């Protein structure tokens, strides 16, 4: 049963968090290759993009992900 539909705002308003041996680097959008990252979604309710970014850093460390992209929902 379909319950809800959400749309992503453009990647130019997002941020990408890349994990490496040197720590997590942050890159502002826009991103051309977003489709390559889509392996699943985690929806986080946050007061701001910065707050959501703090969740993204914890996520990439917890699951050992190479990167995570933070995007706002419309």
Q: Are 29 and 16 in contact (CB under 8 A)?
A: yes
Kindly list the strands in the beta sheet with 67-70, ordered across the sheet, starting from the edge strand earlier in the chain. 23-28, 15-20, 67-70
Predicted confidence band of residue 2 (pLDDT cuts 50, 70, 90): confident
pLDDT at 32: 67
Task: Please tell me which residue, 33 or 4, carries the higher pLDDT value.
Answer: 4
Average confidence (pLDDT) over 24-51: 78
- Phi (first) and psi of residue 26, to 5 degrees: -115, 130
| Confidence at 57, pLDDT banded by 50, 70, 90 | very high
pLDDT at residue 44, rounded to an integer: 87
Angle at the Cα of 47 from the Cα atoms of 43 and 49, rounded to 5 degrees: 70
Of residues 5, 69, 2, the one with CA closest to residue 38: 69
- Position 35 scores a pLDDT of 55
């Amino acid at each position: 049963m379909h319950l809800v539909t959400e749309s992503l705002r453009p990647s130019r308003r997002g941020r990408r968090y890349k994990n490496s041996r040197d720590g997590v680097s942050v890159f502002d959008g826009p991103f051309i290759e977003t489709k390559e990252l889509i392996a699943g979604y985690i929806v986080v309710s946050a007061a701001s993009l910065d707050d959501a970014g703090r969740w993204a850093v914890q996520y990439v460390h917890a699951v050992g992900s190479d990167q995570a992209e933070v995007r706002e929902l419309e």
